[in-house]
Chain A
Amino acid sequence: MVVALILVLVAVGSVAFHLLSPWWWTPIASNWSYIDHTIIITFWITGVVFVAIILFMAYCVFRYRYRKDRRAEYEPENKKMEWWLTGLTSVGVAAMLAPGLFVWNQFVSVPEDAAKIEVVGEQWQWSFRYPGKDGVLGTTDPRNITPENPFGLNPNDPKGQDDVLVQGPEARLPLDKPVKVLLRAKDVLHDFYVPQFRAKMDLVPGMITYFWITPTRTGTFDVLCAELCGLGHHVMRGKVVVEPESEFQAWLQEQPTFAQSLARAGTGTPDINLASSEGGSEPLERLLK
């Protein structure tokens, strides 16, 4: 009796916690509300199954508790019931998988007109590159990385000269414009993670990875690293500011291009690699020692 009651309380308590607790996802700021919808579908289907199984178990524990004069029913198999259960489960699984794959198809299909931004990760800071006026990101190679050229751009690639380099912890994105986020790591795995965007992806040294989003809400959002990258993993932070197109363009104009930063480095004012320390917090500096 007591055990059956506790089982019921576990089921009821889990549902109550789900409904009443203050901890739920952060308000979305991108086009991936489809993902949230798929989660809701999954919650309903699995929630019903979870509660049904526990309540049935509680019923059995109560109804078929040990009695000296009772014998369990001897029924090795019930083919019909087993096939019914298999069928129903398959339907439930399909009902979750189908919308999931449907949305995944959107996730992997980057719009043709998506703007590009490159995110570069290294222990333990973020930097960003925009393609400049030609709309094309110049080629890079880790062998080109020097204090003057921290992005490792190919100095001989004309397409890279106008690339806009942001060596700080803050990126900006225009509102309501699809953007393909290209990801590159210099040293170890990282993961570009903005909880409000829902989308995230690892940065892998030796390859370029990507995902796409359309920011749908202005504001400033935290950038976190979501793939363990060493001692400073938890302090590898940045910010993304989503703002209207005009403000974004005005900001972009102020940032140095690759050609400008090289020229400045040549005159002995390599400000771009010093800028990185702005993002450093106290613990990061302690770790780097």
Chain B
Amino acid sequence: MAHAAHAETAYVPPAEVPDVELYHPKTFLGKYIWCQDAKVIAIQYAITATAIGLVALVLSWLMRLQLGFPESFSFIDESSYYQFITMHGMIMVIYLLTALFLGGFGNYLIPLMVGARDMVFPYVNMLSYWVYLAAVLVLVASFFAPGGPTGAGWTLYPPQAILQGTPGSGWGIILMLASLALFIIGFTMGGLNYVVTVLQARTRGMTLLRMPLTVWGIFVATILALLAFPALFVGSVMMMLDRLLGTSFFMPAIVEMGERLQYNGGSPLLFQHLFWFFGHPEVYIVALPAFGIVSDLISTHARRNIFGYRMMVWAIVAIGGLSFIVWAHHMYVSGMNPYFGFFFATTTLIIAVPTALKVYNWVLTLWRGNIHLTLPMLFSLAFIITFVNGGITGLFLGNVVVDVPLSDTMFVVAHFHMVMGVAPILVIFGAIYHWYPLITGRMLNEAMGRFHFWVTFLGAYAIYLPMHYLGFLGVPRRYYEMGETMFVPESAHFLNAGMSVVALIVGFAQMVFLFNLAWSAFKGREAGRNPWRATTLEWQTHESPPGHGNWGPALPVVYRWAYAYGVPGAAQDFVPQNLPPDRVATAADVDHEGVRGVAVQPAE
């Protein structure tokens, strides 16, 4: 209690935060379609991302069918297999995870959590969504273009990506690059909004070190994205020029199938550097919001303050900074100067220290807590396990010499699925179970939720843990079929078939989740105000679910940090951020009536 940042009634700055003139929709279209309210934009982002994510899910089924049961499905040939893996990867990383965390959760939660009425540039925010939608549509169009979508792998490495030997080297790659460029333009509009809103539109008393970690995670991730995406943008434009105008940014002198091409003097490695200068921060663009959100879920559902809040904030910032000097650990066997390995292995392993600290602090938040095993808590526990597992295998791949045998094998596939596929998606699920009552006013169905949780967590773990061992064996990634080798035993094929069956089951569980989302919106139990008894501002709005402008007549004033759970002396085990100190009921007060200002609800 001696720490200034956490004192119960620290100094509140006197300056009034000027209220803003809001955009007021006049028509149905203005309210739900061409809408400038961040909450509606968030839902639009989320629905679009989920829809395209379903495409990625189906693609993963198809590729698992091929891997588990090669030569069984005539409709999956080499072309379509490579197209499936490429589009699955690109959709999941960019169009689902990035869009959902930043465009979805960022839009919904930032204004509500910092006490703003909306994003600072609502019109640009609206444009951001529509450009994102255009990017998705262009991406989808490539499925119907002549030659189909690109099959260059999600990393799109040239020269291969734009040459004949790769499926979709005509329309496919052009549409892919165009879609990426659009996505980045759209994201930049949204991203500027998130950053400026956090910096400029926080309500009175909401200092930076009182912000919930969710906001910190999304804030730092957005800064990373604003700095990293331009590298992908120029890479895409340059490759487009190589493809359409015959420039040679990434193309050296090449003899393709015996025919000498007109390219000369370019560098394929240059693209890889640009791609991974974006691509590695991208890992943290997905991970940092997940870190932030899961911190809040754990704290709320364990009824305990997050452990080491300031350390958590600095860890997010440190990870964000370091993520810009580790990119070439994706390129240890790319043929770049091998002496780079010393530098990038060192920076990569250093990043493990702040990351490990975050894990310790999550677990230490559970320690001496009062843990409700709600769905958000279950997903958070599962996140910790899968994230630790995936982080640990990152220490293998980051340590340059260990990467050499494992690089380009199924070990890599298992690693990145565990750490930036399964783990962040578990957080997304936890977050949806947590905030769905805020958005819709109803709780998600508990039974369906528990089915969804156990199948998803245990199933995903059962798929990806064994997959690492295929990598040890030496099974390369991106193989349409293993064919004959002298080193892959028959039992490995059996393992592959098993993983495919589990993948189909896990995919089915997501259908139950989607049904739950739709069903509970109408039939779910009424949530009431602040069903989780959380401290953060989004649960303390004038009306619930929060209406246009969020706060009714007056902006909230913040008196304390976001983690006042279990404060000694307080009547309830949580004290909302905006509850004035003189109205915090002590244990003695409660003997009378309900306490004003605090949502008095029976514990579950």
- Indicate if the CB atoms of A25 and B389 lie closer than 8 Å: no
Assuming the A-B contacts A38-B402, A65-B373, are A23 and B333 also in contact, with contact meaning beta carbons closer than 8 angstroms in the complex? no
* A208 nearest CB neighbor, chain B only: B335
- Indicate if the CB atoms of B486 and A23 lie closer than 8 Å: no
Assuming the A-B contacts A67-B370, A186-B254, are A198 and B404 also in contact, with contact meaning beta carbons closer than 8 angstroms in the complex? yes
Q: Does residue B75 face the partner (Cβ distance < 8 Å to A)?
A: no
Q: Does residue B439 face the partner (Cβ distance < 8 Å to A)?
A: no
- Indicate if the CB atoms of B252 and A235 lie closer than 8 Å: no
Assuming the A-B contacts A71-B566, A204-B268, are A76 and B305 also in contact, with contact meaning beta carbons closer than 8 angstroms in the complex? yes
Tell me which of B159-167, B187-195, B539-547 binds A: B159-167
A39 CB contact (under 8 Å) in B165, B402, B603? B402
- Indicate if the CB atoms of A74 and B395 lie closer than 8 Å: no
- Indicate if the CB atoms of B165 and A145 lie closer than 8 Å: no
* A49 nearest CB neighbor, chain B only: B392
- Indicate if the CB atoms of A205 and B371 lie closer than 8 Å: no
* B399 nearest CB neighbor, chain A only: A100
Complex: how many Å from CA A235 to CA B70? 14
Complex: how many Å from CA A190 to CA B33? 48
- Indicate if the CB atoms of A234 and B487 lie closer than 8 Å: no
- Contacts of A12 on B, CB cut-off 8 Å? none
- Contacts of A93 on B, CB cut-off 8 Å? 349-350, 352-353, 395
- Indicate if the CB atoms of B474 and A195 lie closer than 8 Å: yes
- Indicate if the CB atoms of B395 and A222 lie closer than 8 Å: no
Contact with A along B492-512 (1 / 0, CB 8 A): 100100000000000000000
- Indicate if the CB atoms of B253 and A24 lie closer than 8 Å: no
Tell me which of A50-58, A173-181, A262-270 binds B: A50-58
A 61-103 contacts with B by CB, 8 A? 61, 64-68, 70-78, 81-82, 85-86, 89-90, 93, 96-97, 100-101, 103
Q: Does residue B552 face the partner (Cβ distance < 8 Å to A)?
A: no
Complex: how many Å from CA A191 to CA B335? 10
Complex: how many Å from CA A161 to CA B359? 61
Count chain A residues whose beta carbon lies closer than 8 angstroms to a beta carbon of B: 107
* Interface size class, chain B: 35 or more
- Contacts of B10 on A, CB cut-off 8 Å? none
Q: Does residue B170 face the partner (Cβ distance < 8 Å to A)?
A: no
Count the A-B residue pairs with Cβ separation under 8 angstroms: how many? 342
Q: Does residue B532 face the partner (Cβ distance < 8 Å to A)?
A: no
- Contacts of B568 on A, CB cut-off 8 Å? 71, 74
Assuming the A-B contacts A21-B469, A71-B566, A187-B159, are A50 and B389 also in contact, with contact meaning beta carbons closer than 8 angstroms in the complex? yes
- Contacts of B363 on A, CB cut-off 8 Å? 53, 56-57, 60
- Indicate if the CB atoms of B255 and A145 lie closer than 8 Å: yes
- Indicate if the CB atoms of B335 and A231 lie closer than 8 Å: no
- Contacts of A232 on B, CB cut-off 8 Å? 78, 165
Q: Which of B303, B461, B474, B478 has the most CB of A within 10 A?
A: B474
Contact with A along B317-352 (1 / 0, CB 8 A): 000000000000000011100110110011001101
Complex: how many Å from CA A232 to CA B255? 17
- Contacts of B372 on A, CB cut-off 8 Å? 66
Assuming the A-B contacts A38-B401, A90-B353, are A64 and B474 also in contact, with contact meaning beta carbons closer than 8 angstroms in the complex? no
Complex: how many Å from CA A188 to CA B486? 26
Q: Does residue B308 face the partner (Cβ distance < 8 Å to A)?
A: yes
- Contacts of A24 on B, CB cut-off 8 Å? 469, 472-473
Nearest-neighbour CB distance to chain B for A50, whole angstroms, equals 6
- Indicate if the CB atoms of B470 and A23 lie closer than 8 Å: yes
- Indicate if the CB atoms of B357 and A189 lie closer than 8 Å: no
- Contacts of B338 on A, CB cut-off 8 Å? 104, 107-108
Complex: how many Å from CA A206 to CA B265? 7
Contact with B along A196-237 (1 / 0, CB 8 A): 101111111111010000000000111011111111111101
- Indicate if the CB atoms of B334 and A202 lie closer than 8 Å: yes
A3 CB contact (under 8 Å) in B82, B381, B408? B381
Nearest-neighbour CB distance to chain B for A212, whole angstroms, equals 11
Tell me which of B51-59, B178-186, B256-264 binds A: B256-264
Complex: how many Å from CA A42 to CA B411? 15
* A81 nearest CB neighbor, chain B only: B364
Q: Does residue B480 face the partner (Cβ distance < 8 Å to A)?
A: yes
Contact with A along B263-292 (1 / 0, CB 8 A): 001111100000000000000000000000
Assuming the A-B contacts A60-B367, A66-B373, A222-B487, are A104 and B401 also in contact, with contact meaning beta carbons closer than 8 angstroms in the complex? yes
- Indicate if the CB atoms of A85 and B385 lie closer than 8 Å: no
- Contacts of B474 on A, CB cut-off 8 Å? 25-26, 193, 195-196
- Contacts of B469 on A, CB cut-off 8 Å? 17, 21, 23-24
- Contacts of A81 on B, CB cut-off 8 Å? 364
A46 CB contact (under 8 Å) in B307, B367, B392, B479? B392
Q: Does residue B310 face the partner (Cβ distance < 8 Å to A)?
A: yes
* B165 nearest CB neighbor, chain A only: A230
- Contacts of B34 on A, CB cut-off 8 Å? none
* B351 nearest CB neighbor, chain A only: A93
Assuming the A-B contacts A189-B268, A198-B405, are A205 and B252 also in contact, with contact meaning beta carbons closer than 8 angstroms in the complex? yes
Q: What are 22 A-B residue pairs whose CB atoms fall within 8 Å in the complex?
A: A17-B469, A23-B472, A23-B492, A35-B404, A49-B356, A64-B369, A65-B371, A71-B303, A73-B368, A76-B305, A96-B395, A107-B404, A143-B253, A143-B260, A188-B160, A188-B166, A196-B474, A198-B404, A204-B334, A231-B151, A231-B165, A234-B480
* 6 residue pairs, one from A and one from B, having the closest CB atoms: A206-B252, A195-B474, A230-B165, A209-B335, A72-B304, A72-B566
19 more A-B residue pairs beyond the given contacts A73-B566, A231-B167, with a C-beta to C-beta distance below 8 A: A14-B465, A26-B473, A39-B402, A50-B389, A53-B388, A54-B388, A72-B304, A74-B567, A76-B1, A77-B310, A85-B356, A93-B353, A100-B402, A187-B159, A187-B257, A188-B159, A205-B159, A231-B166, A281-B483
